[in-house]
Copies of this chain bind each other. A is one copy, B any other.
Amino acid sequence: MKITIDAVSDLLKSMDDVLILAHENPDGDAVGSACALCRAMLKLGKNAKVSIERVSNKLSYLLTDVPTGDFDYKYVVAVDTADNNILGVSNTSVTKNSKINLCIDHHFSNVLYAEKTYLDEKAAGACEAIFDILKCMNIEIDKDIAECLYVGISTDTGCFRFGNTTSKTLRTAAELIDLGVNNAKVNRLQFETKSKEYAKLEQMAISSMNTYFSGKCAVLPITYDMFIKSGADDSDTSALASLPRQIEGVLIGVTMKEKVKGTFRISVRTNPPADASAVAGMLGGGGHRLAAGCSFEGSLNDALKAVLKCAESELKEIGEL
């Protein structure tokens, strides 16, 4: 059941002993929204913990002083998670089919798996929705909460570059800066810093990018071998995900990341009218119209074949093939 912002505010005020979850392979918006919500609940004197799987180095500092792990919770709240089958539950007694009391999300593809769902499809990130909720709850947004929210909003918008950035998104970010976020520092860490190993990985990946279907689809493979050769162990390759789509004429840009041998994390980015969630959906994934993802088990060749088949189907669907 979808609920209003007033209802979600009242619901959060009424809850205690809350376990906060987010999706697997958590990005900045997942970590930021979980941590911001937890910090806010603690400010209300409530017992709350966050459980997130494998947080990347660049994001782990957001968890400083945030209680984490499993406990004898009464309520489970999921943030930034469109589908219970991608909930990150491995460190908890929760299963992907457990009852989730509340979900706060911004993905239009949310399958409404939770008892109650606050869904703001216009929000650029779950963090933008949580900012509004905390305001509605009259909770003071301190510098730490503001930083969590800023990281979520900035990372989910490619630092305000992507099409999900609205004037409200920019005003929210402005307010977070006025609340003490050092945006220059955050942006340097999230968008302007890469290890030497990661720079090498990028070099190899970029040089192996290829185009298909008369340049309407571009695929950038980040293979297991590249990880080994570069020595990079960074799991966040989200900056690479937008590269294939940037080439003029490309409607469907794909990155295929093989961090674990034989397992591909596939990111699809499209230019209109191509629909990324349609492409990812054919391989069991989902997401937004311009950005979506899915997984694939198999060889590089099989992954590429599968991706190209889906891309071909979508290009036909929109009359481009």
> Which A positions have Cβ atoms within 8 angstroms of B?
158-163, 165-168, 170-171, 173-175, 177-178, 183-184, 187-188, 191-196, 199, 202-203, 206-207, 209, 211, 215, 242, 245-249, 271
Contacts and interface: CB of A to CB of B under 8 A. Distances in A.
A196 B247 contact: yes
Which of A170, A187, A245 is the most central at the interface, judged by chain B CB atoms within 10 Å of its CB? A170
B165 A246 contact: no
Nearest to A208: B203
A205 to B, nearest CB: 11
A165 B183 CA distance: 8
B199 A246 contact: yes
A194 B160 contact: no
Contact of A247 (B174, B199, B242): B199
A118 to B, nearest CB: 24
Contacts of A215: 196
Contacts of A195: 247-248
Q: How many copies does the complex hold?
A: 2
A162 to B, nearest CB: 7
B245 A194 contact: no
Contacts of A159: 158-161
A194 B246 CA distance: 6
Nearest to A190: B161
Given A167-B175, A196-B215, A206-B206, 5 more contacts: A158-B159, A165-B183, A167-B173, A174-B174, A192-B246
Contacts of A170: 160, 170-171, 173-174, 177
A155 to B, nearest CB: 12
Nearest to A177: B167
A177 B187 contact: no
A215 B167 CA distance: 39
Contacts of A188: 163, 271
A199 B206 CA distance: 9
A95 to B, nearest CB: 39
A194 B245 CA distance: 9
Nearest to A243: B199
18 contacts: A160-B160, A162-B187, A163-B184, A165-B184, A167-B174, A167-B175, A167-B178, A168-B174, A170-B177, A192-B242, A192-B245, A193-B246, A194-B247, A195-B247, A196-B211, A196-B248, A196-B249, A203-B207
Contacts of A158: 159
A196 B215 CA distance: 9
